[in-house]
Chains A and B, each alone.
Chain A
């Protein structure tokens, strides 16, 4: 398809949860781990005249009439702020700084004063009837292989409450997600090829992850596409799960709009939902711009020159740059370098690779940790003790197994022997003799010793080496 000729215009909007300690406007935990509600509150919302722009207030009243929203309250993750029973606390500075960092990385202009706004939301997903949001960057850009794509906005906003249940009686929401800081990035409709859309989404995601301060995993990032062709209409496609599906979704939407235009019909402006096979289905008509008015409970935030300087100085390295550097500096292959960076452990890798063998470290961080989880500090100690020595795969596995089983590093590394180091085996043998002096008094001490020593070094030192060392030690006695 000739997308240029069809006049494809596509923009992307990304919502990404930030990995801050607490929520955007209160001190509740943003971990999103509370699962047992302690309380339920029932609320209604009213259409408020003057807020709704095009929507008829009377019609809105009818829609909301009798609708009861139920909210589940969680001990650590919701307070009076989420219940709209208390004004918001000052904005989470950590979230604000991450937002500004992302805006700077996307070449945005930064407002000199940030104004928190209320965006009207009447589906109950916000207890207040609005979402708090603030523009922290505008007029930025990212470069792609197809050309530059404008960034219209970088916003810091509150996540909405999560739908737990929908039934005849209405919707049940969980308040634990409400108020988790989100960054919203919107691009201009500068994307003109399906593949370019994937590239932009990938690049934005990569920049977000480069900060090391965004949440990871299912539900922490949401991507929407805005697509139109000449003669068609802007349709918003929600719920795009996989980056690789993006070109297909764009392509199918272009075909859909093209088909309607060919029949001489009008394409309606819809919100559509992405399906797993790349097709989309109708969700609802595209609403007009949301009503936006100032959040008078939040004072404006001054962005001083000094603050901006500090942010610019401490920008994180972009992940692709880190990959290149790890390849060059530590001799990692491209795939391994990528895996290290994507695991989010690049900083730990560098620390460990400086004292130990880089490839071993990279393999441990990307492959073994899932099976044998070991805390960072223990890994640090372990690789420090191991030094630059190269260890066979089975030996390494055995050691990690012991470490994750709770054995202290000194026992694992000294007893390791690695099947190679004779002095290590000597140490173990001497230790066993010292702790069990009675074995030396039996008829054939090597037999008893062998049993005791092998208990410690099995799988990491060959029996022949152990026997050789034992015989040597017995002779000394």
Chain B
């Protein structure tokens, strides 16, 4: 970002990003392409891409410095790049999917995976044409025919809200019901597992795969995980596993991806490509980029191409997630209630305990609000494992007398989405309880399989 001063100066000089310029300063001349300044750079420093070697350097604009539009032509290299550049008319339409391959659609919501760098300016923009994916991943054309690219919005996943889940669900349902074999949803990774959970509850009667996919390394580098993830997602989208799930790297190697159920997946690392791990359940399948699929969990719905999906989008966004910790004060619940919140997921300790000491007694506050019809769902903050309602006295009090709803082995994030979905359907506390205790998307397992820990 350039400062106002520089911006108006450039405007006066009729200079724009990408122009050849010559900066004269203290008797030195520097010629190159005018580049944008990044947010972290000095806004009063002009960034120039040197013609000879492609390096960028910064030149401070201060008294005695002059900038003129360069006379020379742009460097040859850059002109050639322009031909390869994505999103330009020259390339769009050159690469096409074949009509003979299974039809799928791609819902692009933003994030690393569906954005491209403009190498001239360094700017980032979203992919607009399905064919653009083929430049980096030509193998996609052998697996599927991405007949349509839908962009309901473009957002970083950390900015997403329940409203956005609804838009995605609508788009998915529309494309699936108009004959697609499956749908891929490209998504930022941070809150990807929330969207996965939401779609798992929203898409009722699903009979085809809905594959969420993201990338942990940007697609502008040779080492990006985007290519393999998308390719595996494409194979999954035309497979017989009719579930909502996340398809991302299975290991730190570029070997295979895991397709993991949308209600049993969580981002477990800030940056690793294999950050998305199955929790409390085996992944649905291992998927290799060459199309090989190894089913790891037979508990999945099978494809039925005649089925129609019915989106059920009723959702109450006024739900909150709280976490107990040493010294945690349940008084925050009163605050939330005063702000109109209607339901809570509380991450309890260990088996699902909450502090019961006199001064900071969570049980008494939970009890009071439960009586008023506010549901409290308790989930394990250990992430792995399931809560228990009876091995200790305090647990028996919490779940039997106080009326808290045991979340079983549901992930907190999944429980939060489910609670909003339940409250979207009914205000009756007993009905909410019933919904929370019922499996709608295999979100609660009945058996704890020991091999799933740290899978």
Contact = CB atoms under 8 A, between A and B. Distances in A.
Interface stretch (A53-61, A224-232, A460-468): A53-61
A48 interface: yes
Contacts of B52: 152
A113 B41 contact: yes
B41 A130 contact: no
A302 B38 CA distance: 13
Interface in A96-145: 109, 111-115, 117-120, 122, 127-130, 133-135, 138-139
B221 A129 contact: yes
Contacts of A153: 53, 55
Interface in B115-143: 116-117, 119, 122, 135-138
A355 B322 CA distance: 71
Interface string B195-232: 00000000000000000000011011111100110000
A53 B80 CA distance: 6
Interface of B: 28, 35, 38, 40-42, 45, 47, 50, 52-60, 77, 80-81, 84-86, 91, 116-117, 119, 122, 135-138, 216-217, 219-224, 227-228, 252-255, 271-273
B224 A302 contact: no
B55 A49 contact: no
A8 interface: no
Contacts of A288: 77
B271 A85 contact: yes
Nearest to B40: A299
Interface stretch (A36-44, A333-341, A403-411): A36-44
Contacts of A130: 221-222
A49 B136 contact: yes
B84 A300 contact: no
B58 A113 contact: yes
Contacts of A87: 271
A222 to B, nearest CB: 18
A54 B84 CA distance: 9
Contacts of A49: 84-86, 91, 135-136
Nearest to B134: A49
Contacts of B119: 50-51, 291, 293
Classify chain A's interface size: 35 or more
Q: Give the residue among A48, A128, A293 with the most B Cβ atoms within 10 A.
A: A48
B59 A112 contact: yes
A67 B342 CA distance: 55
B254 A61 contact: no
A86 B42 CA distance: 25
B221 A118 contact: yes
Interface of A: 41-54, 57-58, 61, 68, 80, 83-87, 109, 111-115, 117-120, 122, 127-130, 133-135, 138-139, 152-153, 155, 288-294, 296, 299-300, 302
Given A43-B253, A138-B50, 17 more contacts: A41-B252, A43-B254, A45-B222, A48-B221, A54-B77, A68-B254, A80-B271, A84-B217, A87-B271, A113-B60, A130-B221, A139-B28, A155-B55, A292-B54, A293-B119, A294-B35, A296-B38
30 contacts: A42-B254, A42-B255, A46-B222, A48-B219, A49-B84, A49-B135, A50-B117, A54-B80, A86-B271, A109-B28, A111-B58, A112-B59, A113-B45, A113-B59, A113-B60, A114-B58, A115-B57, A117-B55, A117-B56, A119-B54, A122-B222, A128-B223, A135-B50, A139-B28, A289-B54, A291-B81, A291-B119, A296-B117, A300-B38, A300-B42
A307 to B, nearest CB: 14
Q: Give the residue among B45, B53, B80 with the most A Cβ atoms within 10 A.
A: B53
A114 B41 CA distance: 10
A294 B56 contact: yes
Given A113-B57, A115-B56, A289 B81 contact: no
Given A50-B81, A51-B220, A292 B53 contact: yes
